[in-house]
Each structure stands twice: as C-alpha cells, then as structure tokens.
C-alpha cells in the first residue's frame, strides 16, 4: 500500500490533498502545528492515518519529528511539504520578515533534507514542495515572502539535479500556485482565484504524473512568463 506524508495537512490545500490521497488508497502521515485539526481530519479519512505535530519554525525538532513519523508509517513513498507562512509587510517590520525566512527557508530546507536523504537511502521516492508564483520576482509589499519562495524553487531544483545524477527513480516536484482561496491569499483585487478543491486536484494530478514543475492553476504559466520578461524599469513602478 502506498504511503504519503503531508506536512501542512491541517487546513487549506494540505487538508484537501490529504483527503484526495486517502480516498486514492494512501496510508497517510498528517503533520502540522495544530494537533486538534489534524486529529479531526484523521478521524474523517477513509484510510489509516498517523498524526504528528511538526512546526517548521523549529527546524531541529521538525527534522526529528518527521523522521519519527516516517518510522511510524514503516516507510514513505511520497512527502508533500505544504507548510509555510506569509504576510503583507509594507512597513518592512523585521519581526514579520524573520518569521517568514525562518519558516519558509530554514524550516522548509530542514524537512526537505530529511525527505530527500530518506529517498536516496531507499533509492526511490517522490518529494513535492509548494513554492509560489511569487518566486518569479521580488515584491516590495512582501520582500521576504517572495524571496523565500524563490529559495524553495531553487532548492528543489538543486535536489532534482542531485537525484537525477543517481539515476534512482526519485522525483522532485515544484508546485507554483497563483491565488488560491485560503487564509494565505491576502490583499485586494485578487484575480484568477482558484478554489482549494481545484488546486488540490491539480496538485494530485501532477503527483500522479510525476511532473517536475507545475503552475496551479495552469494559466498562471502566462503570468510567470510575463513577469520574467518585464523590464525592471516597468516592473519597479508597480
């Protein structure tokens, strides 16, 4: 039976993806900060699941807890890292910037490191990380958030290059969502907002097809292309 761990399963896309995976026959490890929500989800899933509290803002503990969860499942085939944080920060408050960096950069890299080393040891597996369309360029209203998501994409690319050279059947997938209807979608005049169900379904399809890089929803590929080619003299006016 297939086994998967979803880090950030307590709400939003992580919760919905966990439901899809369970309905598709996976035994699940559910991980996040909020244990009460994880336990509730665990009781609602059709297949067996395990619960573990993992907080990315404490990377050393997160690494130990993820290792324990893998052992409790008796191994894992798929690890999806959904957890992250982000705040609009027009005043550039360091307290907001530092939390974002600690969670989205250090915390993400810590548990991605555990997952990829496990897959390398076992010579197979699938690591999925959630970056963002924000990874494409910096933004004055959330400098740390955009930079942290750029780190996630680059880190995943580095891991993909590493495992490709081993020739083991290990897949590394970078999911780049646009606006999804969750608590993370802050701000006004948000366009192309996708539902959690639609986003989770597209992510699951990317997992099944072992894609390396996917925009969610697909039309955000156009925005990414436009952002990349837009001259700085124009982009900096936004």
**Any idea which residues carry the catalytic annotation?**
145
Q: How far apart are CA 78 and CA 75, in angstroms?
A: 10
Spacing of C-alpha 15 from chain mean position? 12
Alpha-carbon distance 109 to 94, whole Å?
21
Report residue 96 as tokens: 């907001």
10 Å Cβ neighbour count for 198? 16
Residues written for the chain: 238
Q: Which residue has tokens 């619960």?
A: 51
DSSP 57: T
Q: How many CB atoms lie within 10 A of CB 167?
A: 8
55: which DSSP letter? -
Tokens 């001259």 -> residue: 231
> The tokens of 56 are what?
């990315």
């Amino acid at each position: 039976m297939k086994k998967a761990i979803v880090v950030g399963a307590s709400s939003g896309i992580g919760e919905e993806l966990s439901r899809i995976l369970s309905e598709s026959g996976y035994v699940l490890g559910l991980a996040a900060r909020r244990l009460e929500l994880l336990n509730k989800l665990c009781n609602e899933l059709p297949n067996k699941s395990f619960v573990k509290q993992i907080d990315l803002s404490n990377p050393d503990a997160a690494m130990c807890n993820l290792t324990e969860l893998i052992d409790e499942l008796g191994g894992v085939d798929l690890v999806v890292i959904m957890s992250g944080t982000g705040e609009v920060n027009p005043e550039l408050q360091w307290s907001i910037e530092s939390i974002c960096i600690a969670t989205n950069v250090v915390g993400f890299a810590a548990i991605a490191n555990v997952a990829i080393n496990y897959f390398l040891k076992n010579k197979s597996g699938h690591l999925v990380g959630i970056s963002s369309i924000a990874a494409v360029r910096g933004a004055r209203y959330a400098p740390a958030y955009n930079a942290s998501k750029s780190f996630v994409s680059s880190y995943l690319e580095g891991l993909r290059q590493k495992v490709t050279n081993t020739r083991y059947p290990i897949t590394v997938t970078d999911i780049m969502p646009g606006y999804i209807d969750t608590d993370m979608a802050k701000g006004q005049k948000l366009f192309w907002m996708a539902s959690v169900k639609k986003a989770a379904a597209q992510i699951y399809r990317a997992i099944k097809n072992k894609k390396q890089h996917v925009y969610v929803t697909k039309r955000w590929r156009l925005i990414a292309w436009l952002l990349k080619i837009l001259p700085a003299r124009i982009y900096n006016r936004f």
